[in-house]
Amino acid sequence: MSSTTGTLFKVTTFGESHGKGVGAVIDGCPPRIYLSESDVQIQLDRRRPGQSDLTTDRNEEDRVRILSGVENGQTLGTPIALLVDNRDHQPIDYKNTSDIPRPSHADYTYKIKYGINAASGGGRASARETVARVAAGAIAEKFLLETYGISIVAWVSAVGNVIAPEMGGDVSRSQVEISSTRCPEPETAEQIKVQIRQAREESDSVGGIITCICKNMPVGLGEPVFDKTEARLAQAMLSIPAAKGFEVGSGFAGAAMRGSTHNDLFIKKGNYLGTHTNFSGGIQGGITNGEPILFKVAFKPPATINKQQNTVDYNGRNVILKAKGRHDPCVVPRAVPIVESMTALVLADMALCQMVKR
């Protein structure tokens, strides 16, 4: 099940960071959705490293090719295969890497589970795998927009100890793109830049938080019990490399609230009911209620740093690990399109699985 997700809108990704390329197959995308390679490319370009002074200056040119499932600019209803070739990478240079499991990387667990080394299959734990997710997610987004008018916008709301003020739901993707930090609040964006530069100068890395909102949600998506909307989103978000937390609506802060404050009182909104507040995050009983879906994802600092680390090799012998070369001190801005893509994959699958209305 590892690299496949979804019940009817099913996505499988493939490719190691050190291999020929990475890609995805989307099995179950409905027919006659307008789709071109540029629809996918635009999100890939947002994910790619080397876009600004803030990130590593590798400039991966990730060109996507659609191998199947699309003809004359429209989906056919058949599996859509996407392929992005790997270019020459400059992997960070560790001395004797093959003997030393990198701390907080997947080297050790892959070695034990698969009996293989980090330089090969462990490449699935690399951020490069997310290229395929972003490509697939771009197609899901197109389906959701064309069919329901759903729009998904994510942005950086914290880096290190800098936290942006609550932005409400009016953030657009173009606002997010103004700053290379992907924080749409200008003052916070400047502070975030400082955080990231500091971390880089200290050969260190720093984490952050992404907020995501889904607007124009239909009422009634999602399933009760095990496949609640928030449960599906939580799985999707925690499957992103470096993600450590997820909260929807009031989230952890809701644990400290009283019910009389937290309850979202109903009001009439056109032909439907809406709610005054949205502590529920757009979901009640696991099912979308028409209000925007609102959630946050916490990311730990990248494990790859240039500082010296006292650790052990596979044989348990003490070693000092010191990486050379460039490192990416903060991946949170680049994770924005990944969060959007995983959200789109979940919502597209939920939409197709929705119980037949009678």
Where in 56-115 is the site for its own copies (CB under 8 A)? 65, 67-69, 71-72, 76-81, 83, 101, 103-106, 108-110, 112-115
Is-contact 340 153, C-beta < 8 A?
Answer: yes
Stretch that binds its own copies, among 88-96, 168-176, 180-188, 298-306 (CB under 8 A): 298-306
Q: What's the min distance (Å) between Cβ of 171 and its own copies?
A: 19
φ/ψ (deg, to 5) at 102? -70, 130
Q: How far apart are CA 264 and CA 242, in angstroms?
A: 32
Q: How far apart are CA 118 and CA 12, in angstroms?
A: 22
Site string for its own copies, 120-139 (x = CB under 8 A): xxxxxx---x----------
Q: What's the min distance (Å) between Cβ of 358 and its own copies?
A: 5
Q: Which is nearer to its own copies, 167 or 233 (CB)?
A: 233
Name which of residues 213 to 232 contact its own copies (CB under 8 A).
219-220, 223-228, 230-232
Stretch that binds its own copies, among 40-48, 52-60, 88-96, 254-262 (CB under 8 A): 254-262
Q: Which is nearer to its own copies, 173 or 232 (CB)?
A: 232
Contact status: 149 vs its own copies (CB under 8 A): no
Number of residues in contact with its own copies under rule CB under 8 A: 149
Q: How far apart are CA 47 and CA 42, in angstroms?
A: 9
Contact status: 320 vs its own copies (CB under 8 A): no
- Closest of 340, 357, 358, 347 to residue 135, by C-alpha: 340
Q: What's the min distance (Å) between Cβ of 293 and its own copies?
A: 13
- Closest of 308, 263, 149, 145 to residue 216, by C-alpha: 149
Helix (H, G, I), strand (E, B) or coil at 254: helix
Q: What's the min distance (Å) between Cβ of 174 and its own copies?
A: 25
- Closest of 170, 171, 173, 193 to residue 181, by C-alpha: 193
Name which of residues 181 to 200 contact its own copies (CB under 8 A).
199
Q: How far apart are CA 22 and CA 82, in angstroms?
A: 8
Is-contact 224 353, C-beta < 8 A?
Answer: no
Q: How far apart are CA 72 and CA 176, in angstroms?
A: 32
Q: Residues 95, 169, 252, 325: which binds its own copies (CB under 8 A)?
A: 252
Q: What's the min distance (Å) between Cβ of 17 and its own copies?
A: 10
Name which of residues 24 to 63 contact its own copies (CB under 8 A).
25, 27-28, 30-33
Q: How far apart are CA 182 and CA 333, in angstroms?
A: 5
Contact status: 174 vs its own copies (CB under 8 A): no
**Which DSSP symbol is given to 35?**
-
